[in-house]
């Protein structure tokens, strides 16, 4: 799925979309309460530019969309990207190449 989220058209979409729109696009409009809770957990952090946060959301939901997951994992991943100083889409596209399960395992 990382191929789709690094597609130039999708990256352009991330420039102006809201995080919920990104989730809808990735999950074929399947938004559950769990997604709303997870998105709320990152909504006030303001450590990443909005477009980079959207790419992070796409990365997360391209793997965990329509599954049960720990609602805190998105916030953990957000903080991880912030600690890695991911400030550009170019750096974000590098980060989406990482194995998300390995990253989250190392953060717990």
Whether 10 has a pLDDT exceeding 60, the answer reads yes
- For the chain, the domains span 2-107
Which of these, 63, 71, 54, 60, lies nearest to 17 by C-alpha position?
54
Query: Nearest 5 degrees, angle CA 80-CA 84-CA 85?
Result: 115
Q: How many residues does the chain have?
A: 108
CA–CA separation, 89 vs 6, rounded Å?
9
pLDDT at 6: 86
The string of pLDDT tens digits covering residues 64-82 is 887 888 989 999 999 999 9
pLDDT in tens, 77-104: 999 999 999 999 999 999 999 999 999 9
């Amino acid at each position: 799925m990382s191929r789709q989220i690094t597609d130039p058209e999708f990256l352009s979409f991330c420039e102006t979309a809201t995080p919920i729109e990104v989730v809808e696009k990735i999950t074929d409009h399947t938004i559950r309460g769990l997604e709303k809770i997870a998105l709320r957990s990152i909504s006030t952090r303001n450590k990443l530019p909005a477009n980079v946060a959207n790419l992070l959301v796409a990365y997360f939901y391209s793997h965990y969309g329509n599954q049960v997951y720990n609602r805190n994992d998105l916030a953990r991943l957000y903080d991880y990207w912030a600690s890695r100083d991911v400030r550009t889409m170019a750096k974000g596209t590098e980060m989406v190449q990482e194995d998300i399960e390995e990253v989250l395992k190392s953060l717990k």
